[in-house]
Amino acid sequence: MNLNEYLQRLRREYQTAALDEAHLPPDPLQLLQRWLEEAIGAQLPEPTAMALATATPMGFPSVRMMLLKGIEDGALVFFTNYESRKAQELEANPRAAAVFFWAELERQVRVEGRVERLGPEASAAYFYTRPREAQLGAWVSPQSRIIPDRAFLEERFRQLAQEYAQQDIPYPPFWGGYRLVPSAIEFWQGRPYRLHDRIQYRLQNGQWLQERLAP
């Protein structure tokens, strides 16, 4: 059997859980937090990993995996280099989408909304919770830019580790957080026969409207 035949025949029935509107909270971020806690409790690998999609003003998309670092004040928080490709796209087009997928729980969450920078104080506060090596890594990597080889990174890391050996690593002004403020969140729970549960929350006039979507 070749790869295409295998992919066409590959099947899995989903029957772990269900989504019932009668038991869902009015605020989708409460449900997202609950699902995250259950993914963490199930000891899944990288339960906070999300695919973050951005786009240029011309509509050219790009996507990459990120780690969620908080749900605060109605927004999803993540951190990155402000000179990276994703950051440049967010500056030009401050809208994004994110997807969480927990295969073992047969669940997916899609988030869409506007993006804004986190304040420098909050970004610096998180920066200093990171391991020292990760703090150095933020300074070492000119994210998304072409570099000659891996040795470039390793030598730069060695130099900075030596330079700051006896002092705190300064907060890099080109690095920090973003807030993804959702306008729509969709929860997907796998069900048998591909009749999956899809519940969409959509922000309308400042209130969350709950709708069921066909699978």
Q: Are residues 117 and 152 in the same domain?
A: no
| pLDDT for the residue 157 | 96
Distance CA 39, CA 163 (A): 40
pLDDT 10s digits, 194-204: 999 999 999 99
Do residues 141 and 193 both lie within one domain? no
Do 96 and 18 belong to one domain? yes
Q: How many structural domains does the chain have?
A: 2
Contacts of 117 (CB under 8 A, 6+ apart): 82, 176, 177, 178, 179
The reply to whether 104 and 189 lie within a common domain is yes
Answer yes or no: is pLDDT of 155 > 90.
yes
63/38 same-domain check = yes
CA-nearest of 63, 59, 65, 62 to 46 is 65
Query: 3-state DSSP helix/strand/coil percent for the chain, to nearest 5?
Result: 30, 35, 35
pTM, whole model, 2 decimals?
Answer: 0.92
What CATH code is carried by the domain that includes residue 48? 2.30.110.10
Average pLDDT over residues 126-134: 97
The pLDDT value recorded for residue 11 is: 72
Whether the pLDDT of residue 15 is over 90: the answer is no
| 175-192 pLDDT, tens digit each | 999 999 999 999 999 999
**What does the buried/exposed string (b/e) look like for 37-76 if buried means 16 or more CB atoms within 10 Å of the residue's CB?**
eebeeeeeeebebbebbbbeeeeeeeeeebebbbeeeebb
User: How far apart are the C-alpha atoms of 4 and 71, rounded to whole Å?
Assistant: 40
Pairing mode, if any, of strands 61-67 and 207-213?
A: unpaired
Please name the amino acid found at residue 113.
G
Q: Once rounded to an integer, what is the mean pLDDT over residues 26-51?
A: 97
Choose, from 34, 132, 158, 194, the residue flagged as catalytic. 194
Is the CB of residue 18 less than 8 Å from the CB of residue 187? no
Are residue 68 and residue 102 in the same domain, yes or no?
Answer: yes
pLDDT, average across residues 139-168 = 95
Q: Which domain holds residue 150?
A: 131-170
Residues in the chain: 215
203 and 104 assigned to the same domain:
yes
Active site residue 202: no
Same domain? For 102 and 160 the reply is: no
119 and 51 fall within a common domain: yes
Categorize the per-residue pLDDT at 7 as very low, low, confident or very high, splitting at 50, 70 and 90: low
- The residues that bridge with 39 in the sheet, in sequence order, are none
Q: Are residues 146 and 47 in the same domain?
A: no
- In this structure, the answer to whether residues 114 and 74 fall within a common structural domain is yes
Q: How confident is the model at residue 168 (pLDDT cuts 50, 70, 90)?
A: very high
Per-residue model confidence as pLDDT tens digits over 46-88: 999 999 999 999 999 999 999 999 999 999 999 999 999 999 9
Q: Are residues 49 and 139 in the same domain?
A: no
